[in-house]
Structure 1
């Protein structure tokens, strides 16, 4: 473990630094001799803190108004910090929003996840020694919400899982050896800040919100904010690159890297063709596809088109295909309707665009009357600087949005008929590969979202099954030209070599067989795997074991 990292005469950026734990982080680093740039949307609080602290640490604190949902503001603020302080040595990605409500969750995702990615990438580019920088440290604040399953805020849980997985994948060897930049992760437990106020009004579901303070709050110990800030500074001084730390119950910060590492090694072993447990699962029931109405995103080509064709063979009533590719969608629809007359309708839609998605969803409901199943298949595997935000919008925000719309439409406790929502995650959520850390993070978010959302009493209340499909490398255009989709140009050749030598690419038809099996047989909350042309396997018990290990340490 690295010892004795010093912040004297270093420049530190703290996002969300105007109040709460962020303001305490600012003060810790100032006391230890750092200069601090505070980034926060709260201008009045930020300027007031700047003035007060500069009375003690003359000229060492500057405040920059910055909305971490806005890429232009993030870029502008970072450039101004570099201009004013001449360098950046430490970044603490602390800003966060704790709310899953319909009017807030998109903004929360932008702050909690996309904002972290953006500033991390900017920090690496500025600091990396192999491109003229001087090295440094980036601390990404995740949460125990990444380690536990909690039904009240599944979107928040997903965003924090994304932060953790993104950070542990991007930091893999030889990252530190090449760049001289440490990536660290802090998982805070419940902490006494304004984030916890009015929690009953922050859940995704009003029914759950009424119970959260009564059922959960008394059982969750809340630590002082000072304990959280002390733990983060201790981590900064002591932690090795790639470390994951925990701060709960006013205890000293604890390095939990080995526990997380053990769980992910078990996840990775599930994928290994020599050690995976391929077993028959006794299901509680069998879902009949006949005469069911489906919606499939990303359905115009690739796996989405195959899923559509396979479902039609099973006798479904109709399928609505959503895709941005109009020509391909219309061509496929015409082709399939010659075989299955009137069963397929195409809707051009960018699922990453909320306005488009809402409009198209309402049109689908108007045309079909009732949806029985949604397959959130649309995905983009692209971490390049020009495309990663669009990828996250499709892979994460679009999936969440359509899931919530589907639940609202289907839930039996509000007059619906129940149904099934299958969210396509990836083996990228279960393994650590350094080439596409943003994609890995987004798929980890999907996995944790599904696990949390589907917890009791979700199915009992709604009659809606949430299924998660972890798809391995499959022979589709998603794997074409991967070198151009990496976050770091230096890994272009490495990812091509990795794909050709380490990855067993399965046929697309195997994935289509798997999706039909999962929809027919999957229990609510189950996690399924499709790799190496093997039959779909229910891996829920293995994932559950990993999360039980996480939850044991998270509960102190």
Structure 2
């Protein structure tokens, strides 16, 4: 991770869960980190608990990735104050319980706008910053095992994931699109999709957080993100999948 020291990493969905864990690990690795999330107060709260040297390198900023205007405002500030973006971790995402055939279309649009368009908005700005400075940066997309296979609900019941899994399938596809675009546009910017299984975050319904169901911790996912960043410049991890073990 030495080559990233004092470089600028941007993490979306940074107020809790995988995003917050990733922010903390990047700070420990001596990066400057911008946390983007709607809940500024949550980021400010855990910033206050960080060691003094890490507090100086953490910049919480209010941003709703589903809004292009909000994303542009955040990235304009980052570029003006910090000079550019070297790493982008696209982590922000939402999940709402319900069936695709009956869920309010407004809510469905929110899921698509956050989970897919949020990645598009942020990646466009990060890529532009990297390419203009001729910097070989790294874009990470926090995907899901649901972006590769959709399980059948127990007892053939109607599933409750609606369009969440399809948005993750979109991220699987766009990861490959970005890989080809980054190469075709003559850059060495890396792209990695990290696909965790069930992870103990706020968006996971409580019914899935039982002793009978193995579950990952946010820190497990963050450790995989940092592993992909630690690879040498000539090596790219395109996809990394992690699942909880069955336990004792």
Query: What is the deviation of 1:174?
Result: 6.4
Q: Distance in 1 between matches of 2:55 and 2:225?
A: 24
Distance 1:84 1:173, change over 3 A: closer
1:166 paired residue among 174, 198, 201: 174
Query: What is the deviation of 1:6?
Result: 3.5
Distance 1:250 1:49, change over 3 A: farther
What CA RMSD, in Å, does the superposition of the two structures yield over aligned residues? 2.5
1:127 paired residue among 130, 141, 157: 130
Deviations 1:442-470 (Å, cap 9, x if unpaired)? xxxxxxxxxxxxxxxxxxxxxxxxxxxxx
The equivalences for 1:250-265 within 5 A come to none
The equivalences for 1:201-220 within 5 A come to 220=213
> Counterpart of 1:28?
25
Normalising by structure 2, we get a TM-score of 0.84
> Counterpart of 2:155?
none
Could you tell me whether the CA contact under 8 Å between 2:148 and 2:172 is conserved in 1?
A: no
Normalising by structure 1, we get a TM-score of 0.39
Distance 1:149 1:63, change over 3 A: same
Could you tell me whether the CA contact under 8 Å between 1:53 and 1:61 is conserved in 2?
A: no
> Counterpart of 2:226?
233
Distance 1:14 1:32, change over 3 A: same
SS in 2 for 1:230: helix
Question: Which structure carries more relative contact order (alpha carbon 8 Å, separation 6+)?
Answer: 2
Deviations 1:56-114 (Å, cap 9, x if unpaired)? 41410111101111110000001111112112100000111122543533212111110
Unpaired stretches in structure 1, ≥5 consecutive residues? 200-212, 252-556
SS in 2 for 1:195: coil
Query: What is the deviation of 1:18?
Result: 1.3
Q: Distance in 1 between matches of 2:61 and 2:84?
A: 16
Query: What is the deviation of 1:188?
Result: 1.1
Q: Distance in 1 between matches of 2:90 and 2:182?
A: 23
Q: Distance in 1 between matches of 2:226 and 2:25?
A: 7
Which structure is larger by alpha-carbon Rg, 1 or 2?
1
Q: Distance in 2 between matches of 1:234 and 1:250?
A: 19
Q: Is 2:215 aligned against 1:222?
A: yes
Deviations 1:482-524 (Å, cap 9, x if unpaired)? xxxxxxxxxxxxxxxxxxxxxxxxxxxxxxxxxxxxxxxxxxx
> Counterpart of 1:114?
117
1:180 paired residue among 182, 188, 205: 188
SS in 1 for 2:95: coil
> Counterpart of 1:6?
3
Distance 1:248 1:112, change over 3 A: same
Q: Distance in 2 between matches of 1:94 and 1:37?
A: 13
Higher-helix-fraction structure: 1
Deviations 1:192-217 (Å, cap 9, x if unpaired)? 12221345xxxxxxxxxxxxx6xx97
Distance 1:172 1:76, change over 3 A: same
SS in 1 for 2:146: helix
Query: What is the deviation of 1:24?
Result: 0.6
Unpaired stretches in structure 2, ≥5 consecutive residues? 152-158
1:94 paired residue among 91, 96, 101: 91
Equivalent residue pairs, number: 231
